[in-house]
């Protein structure tokens, strides 16, 4: 007599746009074939009364949702919650986000991992002067301090001179722009599963070219300029097929160290390689629960991650989010 395999219920609480991009039919089908059922959670209803769940994944914010998770975790201590809201909130500020990188414990090797030099501007009046950027030099990249996934948090600029600074509103982060061959490496992490992909990025800027650039350009404007250059036969356009990937061992070591430092399981980080030093890499962004559907073979990788979760529910590493939630029961509220 054949024994029926136990099915596992993964509850997901996501914003509607995230549901549309992540919970695709191909993922539902692949997970179903591996005895995983993806169950939508209604955040407006009591989480404790929904389920049962073998695991919960989420990307919702706010004190009410945090309280829901807290109560659920207290009543269901063996159900992993991926991930802890307090850990996720560290990625909502671009200062605390990149501070993570400076604390990573990575084995010594020929590759070097850094973050760009940067300053924080809290007052828009400071953007009107000339002494603001300290030892930073043009060109600069300007990013909002808040990185919460909102449209405003993605409003970024490349700044070429002091006049360009006047276009900005504080609070904002100014970073040195590092020439990186027009390529960015996006590293997707789902627990122990790591995949690195390469994407086109902002083009390099020579000192001669910088002398001809004025003011500021939004990233979307730069992308349009790059596209026009490609159509006009610009030889500077990058051929991604020719670009060498970072050493996979190095990437996996970063991912592992970042998981340990942040306590997170679902994130990606963006890395660039210094065009002047092929062994120098810089992390420029870390995102919680990114667009996994853009990753090749995402259905298989995420399903394997789900299977890891339900197969290791007593693992201290997997339960890190739940443990932190329980320990911080008295600190519920907006951080």
268: annotated binding-site residue? no
Beta bridge partners of 216: 159
185: annotated binding-site residue? yes
59: annotated binding-site residue? yes
285: annotated binding-site residue? yes
Cis peptide before 171 (omega within 30 of 0): yes
Cβ atoms 253, 105 nearer than 8 A? no
109: annotated binding-site residue? no
277: annotated binding-site residue? no
291: annotated binding-site residue? yes
176: annotated binding-site residue? yes
Q: Count the neighbouring beta carbons within 10 Å of the beta carbon of residue 205.
A: 16
The Cα–Cα gap between 284 and 184 comes to: 10
Instruction: Classify the phi-psi angles of 110: left when phi > 0, otherwise alpha if psi is within -120 to 50, otherwise beta.
Output: alpha
The Cα–Cα gap between 308 and 39 comes to: 18
For residue 272, what are its two tokens?
A: 């660039």
11: annotated binding-site residue? no
9: annotated binding-site residue? no
HSE-up of residue 211 (Cα within 13 Å, Cβ side): 3
Cis peptide before 283 (omega within 30 of 0): no
305: annotated binding-site residue? no
30: annotated binding-site residue? no
| Strands lying side by side in the sheet with 140-144 | 118-121, 172-176, 140-144, 157-159, 216-218
270: annotated binding-site residue? yes
184: annotated binding-site residue? yes
Helices 320-327 and 63-75 cross at an angle (nearest 10°) of 110
Instruction: Classify the phi-psi angles of 248: left when phi > 0, otherwise alpha if psi is within -120 to 50, otherwise beta.
Output: alpha
| Residue numbering of the annotated binding site for ATP | 94, 143, 175-186, 201
| Residue numbering of the annotated binding site for 1D-myo-inositol 1,3,4-trisphosphate | 18, 59, 154, 186, 287, 291
| Residue numbering of the annotated binding site for Mg(2+) | 270, 285, 287
| Residue numbering of the annotated binding site | 18, 59, 94, 143, 154, 175-186, 201, 270, 285, 287, 291
């Amino acid at each position: 007599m054949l024994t029926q395999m136990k099915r596992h219920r993964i509850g997901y609480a996501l914003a509607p746009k995230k549901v549309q991009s992540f919970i695709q039919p191909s993922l539902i089908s692949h997970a179903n074939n591996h005895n995983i059922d993806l169950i939508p959670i209604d955040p407006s209803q009591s989480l404790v009364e929904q389920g049962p769940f073998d695991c919960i994944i989420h990307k919702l914010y706010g004190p009410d949702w945090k309280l829901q998770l807290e109560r659920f975790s207290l009543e269901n201590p063996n159900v992993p919650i991926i991930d802890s809201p307090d850990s996720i909130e560290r990625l909502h500020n671009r200062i605390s986000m990149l501070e993570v990188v400076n604390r990573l414990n990575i084995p010594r090797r020929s590759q070097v991992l850094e973050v760009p030099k940067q300053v924080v501007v809290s007052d828009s009046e400071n953007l009107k002067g000339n002494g603001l950027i300290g030892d930073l030099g043009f060109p600069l990249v300007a990013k909002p301090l808040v990185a919460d996934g909102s449209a405003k948090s993605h409003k970024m600029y490349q700044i070429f001179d002091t006049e360009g600074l006047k276009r900005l509103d504080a609070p904002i982060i100014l970073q040195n722009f590092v020439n990186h061959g027009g390529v960015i490496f996006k590293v997707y992490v789902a627990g122990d599963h790591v995949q690195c992909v390469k994407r086109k990025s902002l083009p390099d800027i020579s000192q001669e070219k910088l002398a001809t650039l004025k003011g500021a350009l939004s990233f979307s404007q730069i992308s349009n300029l790059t596209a026009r250059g490609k159509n006009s036969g610009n030889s500077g356009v990058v051929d991604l097929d020719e670009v060498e990937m970072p050493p996979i061992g190095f990437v996996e070591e970063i991912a592992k160290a970042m998981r340990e430092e942040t306590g997170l399981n679902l994130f990606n980080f963006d890395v660039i390689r210094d065009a002047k030093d092929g062994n120098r890499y810089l992390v420029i962004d870390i995102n919680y629960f990114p667009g996994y559907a853009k990753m090749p073979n995402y259905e298989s990788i995420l399903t394997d991650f789900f299977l890891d979760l339900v197969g290791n529910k007593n693992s201290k590493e997997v339960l890190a989010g739940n443990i932190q939630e329980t320990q911080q029961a008295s600190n519920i509220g907006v951080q």
